Amino acid sequence: MNMLAGLIAQAEGQGADLVTLRALIEEATEAGATRALARIGLHDDRAGPDIVELRQLIQGWRDAKRSAVSAVITWAIRSAVVALLVAISMKLGAVKFGLVDLLHR
């Protein structure tokens, strides 16, 4: 922005009208934005719906990722609880998981 202010001051010093300079800047920025949108394929009437669709797709991806992480965490917690219960039952002698126990049956 400082560069732009410097160019405006320089142009004013050379006799350019401030209103004309602002109009020139506005037109240049509009043309630049139009070119940038055209380069990425967002220059037509379908651009708005395309952006909405992309946002929905990204939100769907985020939701799926969040759901997958939640499922993995739930699975890990349940596995830890099962392992803890098996360890407690083995300690209390309710369940025996040993090779010797299997051979004596």
pTM for the structure as a whole? 0.52
Q: What is the pLDDT of residue 71?
A: 98
Q: What is the pLDDT of residue 105?
A: 52
Instruction: Confirm whether 80 is domain-assigned.
Output: no
User: Who wins on pLDDT, 46 or 97?
Assistant: 46
Instruction: Confirm whether 12 is domain-assigned.
Output: yes
**pLDDT tens digits, residue range 6-18?**
777 777 778 777 7
Instruction: Confirm whether 7 is domain-assigned.
Output: yes
Instruction: Confirm whether 36 is domain-assigned.
Output: yes
Q: What is the pLDDT of residue 84?
A: 94
As for how many domains the chain has, the answer is 1
Instruction: Confirm whether 98 is domain-assigned.
Output: no
Instruction: Confirm whether 35 is domain-assigned.
Output: yes
Domain range spanning residue 22?
Answer: 1-43
Determine the average pLDDT of the residues in 54-65.
97
Instruction: Confirm whether 27 is domain-assigned.
Output: yes
**DSSP letter string, 11-67:** HHHTT--HHHHHHHHHHHHHHHHHHHHHHTT--STTHHHHHHHHHHHHHHHHHHHHH
